[in-house]
Amino acid sequence: MIYPLLTRLGVAALILAGFVRTTLGGAPIQFRTNVAAGIKEAQAKRLPIFLYIPPTGQIRRGDWNNIHKRVQRDPAIVQCAETRFVPIRAQRGNQNEALFERLGVKPGQGFKAVIATPELNRILEIDFRTLGDERKTRAKLTEGFRRYRSLRYDRDIRPVLTAPAPKTQPLIDALEDVERYLILQADDDVIALLDRELSGAARLKVFGTLAALSTSQSAQALLARADSESAAAKALFNCARS
């Protein structure tokens, strides 16, 4: 009767494994510990920085350090931190003090996080209590990314989309960023490009971006051109599938 025993042991092992995953979460956020390299990565990828400042040896906040570690294993937080940001862990110390000063982190302050642009302009700060709450941390990360996305659009992307005579490659790069950041507010500016003189590659990219946005205005613009332009019809099909 060894098989029933093995079956019961197997079920028990699965239950225990599920309990451990539920309690501890999955893999933690992969913070970059080389601060300079992390900043360069953010600049290359054009992504905001999620800068976590752990407690120093002199700071003690009860069990908050362990709570933070648990929150940083939350699957939704891990996915957001690693796909929408470049996460960096920066210890207090002389080598990082210039960075902290630029981001408005006062001397001696730690155990918090700052969301910043790749150019090291502060967007918002997250205090240590918020970092101990999964729901509040997710909300702060979402807010930080949305604010960065709006900043990027107003400062860098929209001027290219609305330029009197945009060059093909900068325009394609700007449209790529609209898709990458899923900037729904860009749909009117992207639709307006269809009435401009564009290269074939740029026009094809416009159709693809409208399909990626999939707003009602985007779908209507593609529908209006679907009979006369096969690329618009194909993009409309992709829009309907998304």
| Model confidence pLDDT, tens digit, residues 159-200 | 999 998 889 999 999 999 999 999 999 999 999 999 999 999
Q: Return the pLDDT at 172.
A: 97
**CB–CB of 187/215 below 8 Å?**
yes
Averaged pLDDT for residues 127-150? 94
Contact partners, residue 108, CB within 8 Å, separation at least 6: 92
Domain positions in the chain are: 11-151, 162-241
Averaged pLDDT for residues 145-157? 96
Strands (E), 93-240: 112-116, 122-126
DSSP bridge pairs for 125: 114
CATH no., domain 11-151: 3.40.30.10
6/12 Cα distance (integer angstroms): 10
pTM for the full model? 0.80
43/167 Cα distance (integer angstroms): 23
Q: Return the pLDDT at 16.
A: 44
Q: DSSP secondary-structure letter at 32?
A: B
